[in-house]
Amino acid sequence: MAKVIEGLYYAESHEYVRVEGEFGYIGITDYAQDQLGNVVYVDMPEVDDEITAGEEFGAVESVKAASDLFSPVSGTVVEVNEALEDEPELINKDAFANWIIKVELSDKSELDNLMDAKAYEAICK
C-alpha cells in the first residue's frame, strides 16, 4: 500500500507540494514512484526558472520510460535537489523526503485546486 502523508497538497498527476511559508517543495508521491519502478534519472529545471501550474517542468525516468513532471503550482525555482543527480534512486527509497524542486510560490490560492491526503488516497485505489 502506497504511503500518503497528511498536510501535503496533491495533484492528480501524482506530484505533491509541501508548503513552508512562501515556499513549496515539489516531488512525486510514493504511489507514483511505485508505479514507475526504479528511478534512474531525474530531469530537473534550473534555479530561477519560472514554472506554471499544470505545465511540465522536468521528468522522472525509469529504465524503460520517461514520465513528465507537471507542476502543481506556479512560481520560481529557488533550489533543486542536487542529491538526485547522483542518486536518483533516493526517490524510490523515500519519495516524500526526497523532494525534487523548491519553489517560491507566486499564487498561494492555487493550492485550493489541489487535493488533500484523503482525496488523493481515494484516487490511488
Give yes or no for a contact between 44 and 71, defined as CB atoms under 8 angstroms apart: no
Give yes or no for a contact between 69 and 46, defined as CB atoms under 8 angstroms apart: no
Residues binding other proteins (CB under 8 A): 37-38, 40-41, 43, 58-59, 61-64, 66, 85, 88
Of 44 and 115, CB closest to other proteins? 44
Of 4 and 32, CB closest to other proteins? 32
What is the closest distance, in whole angstroms, from the C-beta atom of residue 4 to other proteins in the complex?
23
What is the closest distance, in whole angstroms, from the C-beta atom of residue 37 to other proteins in the complex?
6
What is the closest distance, in whole angstroms, from the C-beta atom of residue 39 to other proteins in the complex?
11
What is the closest distance, in whole angstroms, from the C-beta atom of residue 43 to other proteins in the complex?
5
Residue 67's Cβ-count burial label (10 Å; 0-12, 13-18, 19+) is middle
Residue 121's Cβ-count burial label (10 Å; 0-12, 13-18, 19+) is middle
As given in the structure block, the three cell numbers for residue 31 are 504511489
Of 1 and 20, CB closest to other proteins? 1
Tell me which residue has cell 508521491.
29
Of 23 and 41, CB closest to other proteins? 41
As given in the structure block, the three cell numbers for residue 51 are 514554472
